Structure 1
Amino acid sequence: MATNTIDDGEIALENNDKTEESTSPPKDECNVALSDTPFHLLESRWTFWYTHRPTTFRNSSVNYDSCLKKLGSFGSIEEFWCYYDHMKFPSELPLYSDVHLFKENLKPMWEEEGNRLGGKWILRLKKGLSTRLWELLVLALIGEQFNVGKEICGIVCSIRPQEDLISIWTKTANNQMSKAFESPKLIWWIIIPTCIVHLFLMAHWPYPIPFRYLGLFGDFCYYLISNYRILLCLILWATVIAHLFEAIAARQICSQLNIDQDSTYLWMIQTFILGYPSLSILQGYKRRGLCFTINMSSSSNNQQAKPPAMNLSDAEWKKKLTNKQYRILRQKDTEYPGTGEYDKHFETGIYKCAGCGQELYDSSSKFDSRCGWPAFSSSIDTAVRRHVDADGYREEISCATCNGHLGHVFAGEGLRDANGKIVRERHCVNSASLQFQRGK
């Protein structure tokens, strides 16, 4: 497998400046070196996969499946080291490369049966830190060191320009995994509320006489009340306003970490009461790059993924679509915000795919997100496919019938629909990808 000629399927493998004869596939070396050696079998069989998606991939119609290369499968310790010794470290791979380790017969694709209802954990790392952590994670995974090992489908190391990502894919996207709430030490719950209440009494209590019975501390408080009551009021309300802004900042961090709505409310209330001691915990989560479970399944929990039913050549698509529709649906371009005809469109009816006519969204799910693109809270069952975007961050949505690019999905933003109900996620769709049919 390790040769001097490196292409997209072999770029993850080491050359080590050896000749072509000495860099034959590791599997052949295993057959020779270990033919008479007993194998130490692993509990599960695993497969290494590799993808390299340069920036040009994002604006092309190349399928993700065509970029996915299988490096090899193994079921024993000896076979694993034959592959791993010939693989490049993640830090040596080009940008937009992904190395996958998944259980055998399971591809790193959300459309796979074992991944369809799953989710993933994402760890964001500074450049240069991924190699060591990836190696430890690989060894722990194949060595069955996780108590929930059977729940794990595989792991991915993604090389990106600003940071590297390590993802753990799970079979199910259990909502409980995304509920993260932590409280500061008890001492902060005693000190901060007590100080705020005491400051409120000093600033607004019209009868300061009882403070004179608290000894020297009471005399000092009485002196402040008598001479600096206005200053005390300013300090009190400055504290309240500061805690309010810290609560808003906590909500934004919870949205970035994809923490569920109930836990987000708890974080906001706690941060409004305690201020920075609560906010600093969330900031610590953000610095460590921890991103909680992201449900990568479709809008309907029971949706069955299906392959595109309409496959046309590029020439046929160009003939069928307008230039703008072709650029967005087939080349995954994005229209400028506020320029689409359906951004402020709220008539009753059905929104269909502009490429194939597949019904995608009911008008009842549309709401005004003020983002500049049409926004929907959910799609019609089985109409929309979801998969990880080429940038490794966002979740792309496409038509399940023709695989035309629609837009992206964003979760945990705290937006509300026309009825005032908080929406779990926002389908941000290009107007050029849609056509509208009045009525229902």
Structure 2
Amino acid sequence: MNRRDFLSLTGAAAAAGVSWWQPPAHAATSMAAPGRQPTAGYANVLILVELKGGNDGLNTVVPYADPLYYQFRRSIGVKRDQVLQLDAQTGLHPSLAPLMPLWRDGQVAIVQGVGYPQPNLSHFRSIEIWDTASRSDQYLHEGWLTRTFAQAPVPSGFAADGVVLGSAEMGPLANGARAIALVNPAQFIRAARLAEPSSLRERNPALAHIIDVENDIVKAADRLRPRGGMREFRTAFPSGTFGTSVKTAMQVLAACEASGPGAQDGVAVLRLTLNGFDTHQNQPGQHAALLRQFAEGMSAMRGALIELGRWNQTLVMTYAEFGRRVRENQSNGTDHGTAAPHFVMGGRVAGGLYGAAPALGRLDGNGNLPVAVDFRQLYATVLGPWWGLDASHVLQQRFDTLPLLKA
């Protein structure tokens, strides 16, 4: 294989901001073995939103009625008169105002105190635990969604198992899932069509396998790109990188809808990433801007999904490697912590507060919050009630589901 041929082969995909992860041949064969029937339930889409860096839960979902909160956070605490009250004890950061209509409509659940036993405060290791759904002392190779799709493949007509937007890291789709990474969502939407690399097969037979992979990129990406141009949504999408990712995700779903109801063309999962939550210094302004991007993006996503008629068939869920420490640091920020709240949104979500309010009087020896809800309970809720699958097989043990979905 010479370098020029390789660069020619990969250039078209890279220009469109697309990369592709697919299982090796033996894995693909085992996933598609005779007798393995596509599982119903993937018409229910899962959208994961990674709050990369570790979101500060206490300044997101604020225990404003607890005096300990303001003792621990004399400088960076959200002022009580600025909190968006959810009840007599708990409120939201003011930047999350775009989520309040969802809250009033009962379409957002806030699960407090999410984490796992024996927490690891390394970014790399902790997100690996979340991505693979492992114990803190266990090392698993595949992402939890990769194991899901190996157990219950998506319908054969689907363009891919999942689409990752705004990141080259496959996360929960790593090491086996048929997933497309749209590293540059804006370029993907603008590109009309990737060039077919098949002519390289004749020039260099040694490239045959890579050519096949590249052809898969072409075919899958083309099926996910809007046909006849971008859909014109009435919904206004926010500017910025995250807003573009949200818009692209909605264009992908619109392209799937354009295939027609009988085509079964689609994806089961979309994963978006919002970067910047590792707020060790000067947190207040940075965090407010991040939460505003998140809330505006989620509000736009809801509007677009309603336009597509998909809001009731979509579950949106946040996750992050960890939360932040309770006590502010000397740099007007927060350090790595443990438990944090996460959001679950959708037309069939039973809105409200779940889990347990932050136990600020029961911190561990490192000044961190106790865990109230194991993050794998969220995954079990997706796998069981949302998709109708055997969660214990994927998660390798049984976890109680959460009553987040309407009957």
Rg (Cα) greater in structure: 1
Band of TM-score, shorter chain: under 0.3
User: Larger RCO: Structure 1 or Structure 2 (Cα < 8 Å, ≥ 6 residues apart)?
Assistant: 2
Greater per-residue strand proportion: 1
TM-score with structure 2 setting the length = 0.22
TM-score with structure 1 setting the length = 0.21
